Amino acid sequence: TGNMLRAASEEYPIDVTTRYTEVPEGAMGPDARELLDTLLAASPSADPYDLAVTMQEYLSSDRPDGFRYETDITGVECDAASAVECFARTKTGSCLHYASTMAILLRAANPDNQIPTRLVQGFLPGDRPTGSDRAPTVTETVRNRSAHAWD
């Protein structure tokens, strides 16, 4: 539950902090830093759970000036900006942009005790053949359009 996650320890094992707290050089430009400042001000506390919920709600809100989910971002121009900086600037991206941004912003939210995060990629369910009189098959076709990322 949310209360259990709020009460969880913020002392993370060294192998977790070693692997999951780095903020790569150049990941946070001025737009990403401004977004982080906005999210920190909007969060009810500095607790990692509250920060994560605030970020998730803010990034997925339906505000007119909010972020837009787009699977085709070929027209989005960001020069040499990182994926996180580009997403913070253009407010347009796919699940990979949302997840990358949230992971990096959570890591950068508390420099004195970084919040470990990791980005995971996988696939949503694919298509199974239908209409066969035979026993259901275990074969499933998974296409790139079923790709998904989360943190």
Contact 76, 90 (CB under 8 A): yes
Each residue's pLDDT tens digit, 75-132: 778 887 898 999 999 998 888 888 999 999 999 999 999 999 998 877 766 666 665 5
Report the distance separating Cα 34 and Cα 66, nearest Å. 14
Nearest Cα to Cα of residue 42 among 68, 66, 23, 11 = 66
Each residue's pLDDT tens digit, 8-24: 999 999 999 999 999 99
Nearest Cα to Cα of residue 30 among 82, 94, 69, 100 = 82
